[in-house]
Amino acid sequence: MHWFLLIVAIAAEVAGTTFMKLSAGFTKLVPSILLVVCYLVSLSMLNLALKGISVSVAYAIWSGVGTAFVAGIGWALFGEQITAFKAGCIVLIIAGVVGLNLREGSHGKTDSPSPQEVSANITALKEK
């Protein structure tokens, strides 16, 4: 379920970024509204996905896959060039995402501290 939420978050982020381009700097009303809605959906779904996926892995996938898809959309819809350098950089981003996913223990339930543990850690840091 958490992975599905991450996929929805990525799709909404890619759509939001596409609407950002179409909004022409917030000068077009409908794309401007859609970009805000898409980003709200994306961040909400990413937040829910973090209940079961570690933040380093989820954020790397969200941003890396989103970047790759947006580069493809820029090429396909907006005529942007994909140079060899740009393609190489996208491959490096994807390699980083794959590397994080190959790390043992990156899937499933996270070992996130409880809110009480976080609060205790913050209190301890303030006392130092």
pLDDT of 109 > 80? The answer is no
At residue 59, the 3 state secondary structure works out as: helix
Which pLDDT band, with edges at 50, 70 and 90, does 105 fall under? Answer: low
Q: What is the pLDDT of residue 123?
A: 81
Name the nearest CA neighbour of 53 among 105, 95, 99, 98: 105
Over residues 29-87, the pLDDT tens digits come to 999 999 999 999 999 999 999 999 999 889 999 999 999 999 999 999 999 999 999 99
Question: pLDDT grade, residue 99 (50/70/90)?
Answer: confident
Contact 114, 108 (CB under 8 A): no
The type of residue at 46 is L
Give the helix ranges, DSSP H, for the chain.
2-22, 29-49, 55-78, 84-102, 115-127
